[in-house]
Amino acid sequence: MTSIKVKFRPSTVVGHEGSIYYQIIHERKVRQLPACYKIFPEEWDDKRSTVATTHNSDRKPLILSIRERIKWDMERLAKIDRKLNATGLPYTIDDVIDEFNRYASEYSLFNYMESVIAKLKQKEKVGTAGTYRSTLNSFKKYMKDQDIMLDCITSETMEGYEAWLRNRGIIPNTISFYTRILRAVYNRAVEEDIIENRNPFRHVYTGVDKTVKRALPLAIIKKIKALDLSLTPSLDYARDMFMMSFCLRGMSFIDMAFLKKSDLKNGHLTYRRHKTGQQLVIAWTKEMQMLVDKYPENRSDYLLPIIRNPGTNERCTYRNVGYNINHNLKRIATMVGVAIPLTMYVARHSWASAAKAKGIPISVISEGMGHDSEATTQIYLASLDTSIVDRANSLILSSL
């Protein structure tokens, strides 16, 4: 049986803070495990072996925080001892301390999340790794770069983070984006039996709000298509990529960027969505071919003139090109009197909205991206005869 107690050692200098440490006794051997918490003698309750608040209200938040951290440390030490004991193999105090120190270095949120990001990159899930990196950077700013142990993440921690994001003007869907990723990381640690689930996300927002409609009517799409931009190649190119996305049933820009010429066979374009891996087949039309033919200098293996120099940092290239396109689309929006911020994603909304306006059933396309989750639309599309969707696309393109 292992005994674990919290102890206080006063400073040898009068008026200075003393140190908290853990006394561990196992098989008649005694070890002291230093903690990093400092308190004054009057803040130590020797009878209850715990820190206590005093009349000094300025230190109350610190004392309460130390008390909470000691509680987590004690629980962690007890859990380590139970796990070592459950193996049925002999172990020493040093084994308990080594495991405790290893836990501190590997199972802090920052370190654990870094390992998750590294694994995602190894699996070539670069996009997902990027979203995890953005979330980690955001949480680090909230914590002022002070790391936190996974088992110290509480409901109060997450509620504080949510309030911090809200006070910075972050919209609910972005807040939910961050909290859902943190929850996924936390749940992974629970599944790996690193921590016990304390449900720290139960009071924070992890849903998805319906976004403001960003679809353009066909009349505006026609105006964009009809613009004479021959004297401004950068605007002409941005308009062409927007129209190509619309023609390709609202294809996302990342999927457009990585289309290969070999994906186009026998009058059909076959590709897999980067986001879901779902395979889609699109009937190739004369409108699509006309846009491709405008860029005969594209000699790469890619179908569209987005990544023009394969072998470079292709993801960085498509992001930069996308940024420039969206910048130029905002100039185009001014030309046609569009008030909403015009981006490549608007093409996706607009195609779905046009499909709905043409009386296409919800089973073919879900309400112009006004669904509760994108997964719902993906499920609908996955179960359809692609010829139905192609007929819908022909109806839309014939209206241009």
Annotated domain spans of the chain: 2-91, 109-191, 218-397
Structure tokens at 69: 């951290």
* C-alpha torsion sign, points 336, 338, 341, 345: negative
Torsions phi, psi for 124 (to 5 deg): 60, 30
pLDDT in tens, 45-65: 988 889 988 777 788 888 888
Please say if the pLDDT value at position 305 is more than 90.
yes
Residue 244 pLDDT class (50, 70, 90 cuts):
very high
How many CB atoms within 10 Å of residue 150?
23
Higher pLDDT pick, 353 / 381: 353
List, in order, residues 6 or more apart from 144 with CB less than 8 Å away: none
Please say if the pLDDT value at position 370 is more than 80.
no
How many CB atoms within 10 Å of residue 346?
26
Q: What is the pLDDT of residue 209?
A: 59
* C-alpha torsion sign, points 332, 336, 337, 340: negative
pLDDT in tens, 129-176: 889 999 999 999 999 998 888 888 989 999 999 999 999 999 888 899
List, in order, residues 6 or more apart from 228 with CB less than 8 Å away: none
Residue 221 pLDDT class (50, 70, 90 cuts):
very high
How many CB atoms within 10 Å of residue 138?
21
Q: What is the pLDDT of residue 1?
A: 74
78-82 average pLDDT score: 89
* Tokens 């190119």 -> residue: 237
381-388 average pLDDT score: 50
Torsions phi, psi for 363 (to 5 deg): -65, -20
List, in order, residues 6 or more apart from 203 with CB less than 8 Å away: 155, 158, 159
Q: Are 249 and 393 in contact (CB under 8 A)?
A: yes
Residue 272 pLDDT class (50, 70, 90 cuts):
confident
What fold does the segment set 218-397 form as a domain? hpI Integrase; Chain A (1.10.443)
- pTM for this entry: 0.54
Q: What is the pLDDT of residue 18?
A: 94
Q: Are 367 and 352 in contact (CB under 8 A)?
A: yes
List, in order, residues 6 or more apart from 196 with CB less than 8 Å away: 79, 151, 190
